[in-house]
Structure formats: C-alpha cells, structure tokens
Structure 1
C-alpha cells in the first residue's frame, strides 16, 4: 500500500517538479520508497524536509 502525502492538497494541487534519473538509480529509489510504504515523490519530499531541518530551516508545506 502506498501512502499519499495529505498535506499537498492544501491550497490546491502542488506544481509538478520533473527531473531525469538514471534508470538503475530510479530502480533503487523506487525499491526504498516501496519498502517504506510511500510513493517516490513522497520519499523525495521527506528527504528534502529532513535536509532543511538539518540546516535549521523549518520546512513549509
């Protein structure tokens, strides 16, 4: 089961962010996200939030 980030629906749909990822890396990232029971997009958002917090910045949204 994939968990959806419920916060993204506040204020309407969030803009898309596109990036190119090597297929072999994408496979690894998909596997890790699936192991955590979340989508790859939510996995990236969690990583970004953690990185901001490590720098003393409180993530918005």
Structure 2
C-alpha cells in the first residue's frame, strides 16, 4: 500500500475553496497514474502544475 502525501494544513487556516472540473475517464486514469508515481495526490499534482505554469510566465505563485 502506498502513502500519498498531501499539503500540511497550517494551524488557524481555513479550508481552501473547492475547484471542480470534468475530466475524460481515460485522461483521469493517466493523471492518477502520474500523481501516484510522484507519490502525491491528484489535487497536489494539479497545484504543482499550476504553480509551475505561473512561474514560467514570470509570476510568483501565492500559497
């Protein structure tokens, strides 16, 4: 059984807002596999991807 790491919740911080999207099942399977290979949840994989995309545009991500 593998352990998937998630972002640590800081004391006093509220819940982040949810973000929902529809993904083709075949694409979802590929994304799940890549996230699992990196040992992170799919949500954290998307957060990392978004942060990387912002940095490529010269924008320092917040949060």
TM-score, normalised by the number of residues in structure 2: 0.89
Which among 21, 25, 31 is matched to residue 27 of structure 2? 25
Q: TM-score, normalised by structure 1?
A: 0.92
Structure 1 gap ranges (5+): none
**Which of 49, 52, 55 is equivalent to 1:53?**
55
Q: What's 1:12 paired with?
A: 14
- Greater helix share, structure number: 1
Structure 1: which 4+ aligned runs deviate by more than 2 Å? none
Structure 2: gaps spanning 5 or more residues: none
Equivalent pairs counted in the alignment come to 59
The CA deviation at 1:5 is 1.1
